[in-house]
Structure 1
Amino acid sequence: MFEALVTMCMLAAATPEAPLPGETCRAAVLPGFAAETKAACERASRRVPRQPVAGAKEEGLPFCAPRPASVLTFSEVASGVFVHRGAVAEPDLANVGDVSNIAFIVGSRSIAVIDAGGSRKVGEEVYLAIRERSALPITHLILTHMHPDHVFGAEPLQEAGATILGQANLPRALADRAETYRANFARLIGGPAFLGTRAPVPDRVIAKQEVIDLGDRLLELRAWPSAHTATDLTVFDRTSGILFAGDLLFDRHTPALDGSLRGWLAVLSQLKGLPARGVVPGHGGPLLDWPQAAEPLERYLGVLEADTKRALDAGLALGPASEAIGRSEAGRWHLFDLFNPRNATAAYTELEWDP
């Protein structure tokens, strides 16, 4: 099988990380033009007009080559359910934004992908990993929330034919944060690795609940009130009994509070009542028992709430309070000193006006 590729180069001026033009280019996969022969692939890739990739210029026409092997590892955690465990780390030059879990589910007619990683490059690798296992159409990309490590790989999957789905608040949230997310992620993983990446625009939103059919396989999508973020969406695969919780569940990685502490505790309580036998968290795992997997997160959020109440009752200002809130959890989580101070600040700000 042959895939279309194009040589993509940065438009920006040379940087300390990439001082020479040759160091700012890469061969990018262009999903949607795969064919059994090189000639057929070339005809298709040159016949269909394409929108230029943001922040990049293309050197020459698309060309076709034997399909590259994906560098991402996916485990089949249940029949037709494949999960990639992202690094429990901050995005950086080494992991090119591959720091969140990604899954795809294969039905008898089509495939749905759940989250897409933190760069176009990661999204291309997800596409290649899927094609190593199935030629079925990729019809859906479900984004569990707005954070860039889950959404920036979306475009190659959309090019492959996927409709992008997200919670009702997702389009506005991404539009408001797109430039900030782009600048921060380009800085963290480096311009060359981030080359061609842009924030997705969802094709359709889920306001409450919806069921999609992949062919003999039904997925239940459910939107939630503000919790981890104001854009949280979960997926439940009825066939396997696996819940895809996105960042409503963290494992090992310190949770990140970007929504509502009390809202998250309430949503977590509801999630525990779902009839799932296993769960894929947004980070860690990749497959955990349910509802037991909720216990560490529930404990952490409870500590945040209790510590914040004590700090407020003691009249502590935000600065000193943020250094104390949650500290008893320090030895239980990775990246604690990076995320806990932000969580403490968010909890303090949320609870300080409580009656």
Structure 2
Amino acid sequence: MNAQQIADGTWAHLWTPGGWGQTNTGLIVDDGAASMVIDTVWDTGRADAIASENRSLTRRSPVTDVVNTHSDGDHWWGNDTVPSDARIITSAASLHAMKEETPPSGVHLFASLGALAGRLPGPVGATGTYMDRVRGGATFPRTSPRLPNHTFDVTERIDVGTRAVQLRYLGPAHTAGDLIAHVPDVGVVFSGDLLFIGSTPILWHGPLSNWIDALDHLLALDAAVYVPGHGPLCGADEIRAVREYWTWVDDAGRRHFDAGVEYAYAARNMMQSRDFQPYQAWGSPERLVLTMSTLYRLWKGEPAAPPTLLRRARAFADAGALLRTMESR
């Protein structure tokens, strides 16, 4: 594992291809002054390895701040590997969602049971197999990690030594609290999961219009390099492709909803359409059914649902069933 230097004093730890749990993280350094970590990963072995690499890059520049871009565990469950005196920052909405999340021990138990249940036929087996796929062999921390101890509502500038890092809350979208970290002196943006590159994005919270607006904001920054939450480094063309995907999902999904088609069948129909062809090579295309379940809830006028284990289990059952259908063709 090697940190990739993407600009002066700026590194990314990329975990390709960027599937479930394969989270990218970042490091911003003002040599001789201070450093900032962007996100931590949920797998304990990889989190320790990243922390070790970061220590070698920050010997003269202690880590003073850590940013968690949102509440999904694969972006903050490694918080115990950062220096104990570092300030951990996220949006106020993200911290609230983190407190609602199932702890690592609960997810571990569910995934372990899922690995056994995956041998069974029907919905139980589909759910179990998919939950085990989501875990992806990761070893989760035994206890709940450190929560952020500093929050902001919309924007905040953090000075890393003499370098300014502009944090901006652009959610709710993927989750309730999505934020980005813009490093203007080198033209780098850490986007969190507002960008999935080469893999299918997931709408857990919404509204979808907020996500599209967030992509427009990312494009307007005209950065030299964007570090997505999952997948390879990217530029404006890849962001536009994600925007086109969401525009298509919004339009095609709404037509199915208005026609009274159940959301799982809507997802299948959409994936079999010609319009899906530009996205069929993206990883985990079955995630569309997770998004459709969220959109149908919102289109019915219901509030966004918290990320409880029960809700995740139902979503993974839908995705697992769709994946089995795809693989049986």
Q: Do the two structures share a fold, i.e. TM-score over 0.5?
A: yes
Q: Which has the higher contact order (CA 8 A, sep 6+)?
A: 2
The normalised TM-score by structure 2 is 0.76
Report what 2:187 is aligned to: 241
Provide runs of 4+ in structure 1 moved above 4 Å: 188-192
Q: CA RMSD in A?
A: 2.3
- On the 8 A contact 2:190/2:228 being kept in 1, the answer is yes
The normalised TM-score by structure 1 is 0.71
Deviation at 1:119, TM superposition (A): 3.0
Counting aligned pairs with the same residue, the percent is 26
- On the 8 A contact 1:82/1:103 being kept in 2, the answer is yes
Q: Is 1:341 aligned to 2:289, yes or no?
A: yes
- Superposition map of 1:1-355 within 5 A: 72-88=1-17, 90=19, 99-108=22-31, 109-135=33-59, 136-159=61-84, 161-179=85-103, 181-185=104-108, 187=111, 188=132, 189=135, 193-260=139-206, 261-285=208-232, 287-289=233-235, 291-327=236-272, 328-329=276-277, 330-337=279-286, 339-353=287-301
- On the 8 A contact 1:144/1:233 being kept in 2, the answer is yes
Change (3 A) 1:241 1:185: farther
- On the 8 A contact 2:18/2:230 being kept in 1, the answer is no
- On the 8 A contact 2:263/2:289 being kept in 1, the answer is no
Report what 1:47 is aligned to: none
Change (3 A) 1:347 1:191: closer
- On the 8 A contact 2:179/2:191 being kept in 1, the answer is yes
Which is greater in Rg? 1
Separation in structure 1 between the aligned mates of residue 83 and residue 162 of structure 2, nearest angstrom: 23
- On the 8 A contact 2:23/2:230 being kept in 1, the answer is yes
Q: Deviation digits for residues 299-341 of structure 1, max 9, x if unmatched?
A: 111111011121023221334223224551552311112x111
**AA partner of residue 298 (structure 2):** E
**AA partner of residue 340 (structure 1):** L
**AA partner of residue 11 (structure 2):** F
Deviation at 1:283, TM superposition (A): 0.7
How many residue pairs match? The answer is 272
Give unpaired runs (5+ residues) of structure 1.
Answer: 1-71, 92-96
Change (3 A) 1:185 1:76: farther
Separation in structure 2 between the aligned mates of residue 274 and residue 319 of structure 1, nearest angstrom: 36
- On the 8 A contact 2:18/2:231 being kept in 1, the answer is no
3-state DSSP of counterpart to 2:220: coil
Change (3 A) 1:190 1:318: closer
- On the 8 A contact 1:123/1:157 being kept in 2, the answer is no
3-state DSSP of counterpart to 2:82: helix
Separation in structure 2 between the aligned mates of residue 195 and residue 284 of structure 1, nearest angstrom: 24
**AA partner of residue 303 (structure 1):** W
- On the 8 A contact 1:322/1:345 being kept in 2, the answer is no
Q: Deviation digits for residues 205-239 of structure 1, max 9, x if unmatched?
A: 02111111112211101112311111111001122
**Greater per-residue helix proportion:** 2
- On the 8 A contact 1:233/1:245 being kept in 2, the answer is yes
Deviation at 1:194, TM superposition (A): 2.4
Separation in structure 2 between the aligned mates of residue 347 and residue 175 of structure 1, nearest angstrom: 24
